[in-house]
Each structure stands twice: as C-alpha cells, then as structure tokens.
Amino acid sequence: MPLASASSPRRRSFYVIRKSAIQGKGAFATRFIPAGTRVAEYTGEIISAEEAGERYDDAAMSRHHTFLFELDDGRCIDAGPKGSGDAKFINHSCEPNCEAIGEDDRVFIDALTDLEAGDELLYDYRYVIEGPIDAETKALYACRCGAKTCRGSILAPTKPKKPNKKKASRAKAKTKTKAKASTKTKAKKKTKEKAATRR
C-alpha cells in the first residue's frame, strides 16, 4: 500500500513531540503560529476500510487508541506503521486550536487560532461509531482534554433522537457490526472558501 507523502521539514519545525498531560505523547508549538497556518500533514499508509477493521478492533480495546484517519471515499490513512509522520501524535480537544482539512487523499492540520510557543496542538476528533452509546462505550472514548466545555468524549456530539420506530430498528441492525468496527478520525472537506483563506 502506498505511503501518503511526508510533511516537509519546514512544516515539521512548527511543533515537537513530547509527553502530554492529556494522553501519552502530544504535539507542542515550537514558536508563535498565526491562525490559518498549515502546521502539519497527517501521513501514513493508505488502506481500505476493511484493512482498517482488521488492524484495529475497537471492541477488543480497554481504552480506545488508533492511528486512523478516514478519507472521503472510506479508505483510511493509518499512521501506525513505521515511517509514518508524527502528526498522529496530535491529541483531541473539545475546545480545539487546530482543525483537520481533507484534500483528496491528503489530510492537513491547520491552526484555528493563534498559537503560542509551548501550546499543545489539538483538534476535535469527532469520532463516529455505530450503535448505541452505552456506559462501556462512553468509558472507552472518555475525553481528558480538560477544557471548560469538555463534552466528556472524543466521539462526535450526538444529535437528540426523535421517537421513531423505523429509526430505532435501523439503529439496532447497525450494532451488529460494532464488534469489528474501528473508529477513524474524519477531516473537514476542503471548500473553495477555505482554499482561499487558509493558504
């Protein structure tokens, strides 16, 4: 499988990887970064959705931990393999200072706000999973970002459900696939407006 192109040395100099108070390792700004700057590219091996499911089985984990980023066509960038870029170390926050932008087979991380040297780079993972979110699932995806508005989860916020019989039965059918499902981060699509303002 091909490796997505690596980020340039210039981009890498925006941040360093070190231990994070949120979880494991994180990426920290090495200098002032103005809002709108493209700080990183999420690079790794591009694999099919099926292969992603084989490599990572969320249901078998005691705490969720993957390096997958989902592309628009369902394929994923897996930053787990050796040789992948270090943007995989950027942690999640419910009050992010960065955002992920998808452009075809590539995913970039752009600064949403001005960043000071030493700030941890953070974007909102908004993971989507199938099936109901029970207590076990909540624990698996618990968020430790520490933001005032932390929603307590690295999952995407859920919309309130309407009491609809048809919808309820569809949701049940989907849970059958949960055991083999792997969660991937999804980027925002590049829009013309973004292309004009973020380069």
Ligand X SMILES: C[S@@+](CC[C@H](N)C(=O)[O-])C[C@H]1O[C@@H](n2cnc3c(N)ncnc32)[C@H](O)[C@@H]1O
Which residues contact ligand X by CB under 6 A?
20, 22-26, 63-67, 88-89, 91-93, 143-145, 154
CA–CA distances in Å: residue 181 to residues 53, 145, 162: 6, 24, 25
By a kind-dependent CB cut-off of 5 to 8 A, residue 37 interacts, out of Zn ion, ligand X, none, with: none
By a kind-dependent CB cut-off of 5 to 8 A, residue 150 interacts, out of Zn ion, ligand X, none, with: Zn ion
**DSSP-assigned letters across all residues of 115-137:** B-TTPBPEE---B--SS---HHH
User: Is 94 a binder of Zn ion (CB under 5 A)?
Assistant: yes
d(CA 78, CA 161): 32
Structure tokens at 76: 């994923």
Question: Which residue lies nearer to ligand X by CB, 24 or 160?
Answer: 24
Q: Which stretch binds Zn ion (CB under 5 A): 76-84, 141-149, 155-163, 170-178?
A: 141-149
Find out whether 181 and 59 touch, Cβ atoms under 8 Å: yes
Question: Which residue lies nearer to Zn ion by CB, 49 or 150?
Answer: 150
Question: Which residue lies nearer to ligand X by CB, 20 or 137?
Answer: 20
User: Is 142 a binder of Zn ion (CB under 5 A)?
Assistant: no
By a kind-dependent CB cut-off of 5 to 8 A, residue 67 interacts, out of Zn ion, ligand X, none, with: ligand X
3-state secondary structure of 169: helix
d(CA 20, CA 22): 5
Residues within the interface to Zn ion (CB under 5 A): 94, 143, 145, 150
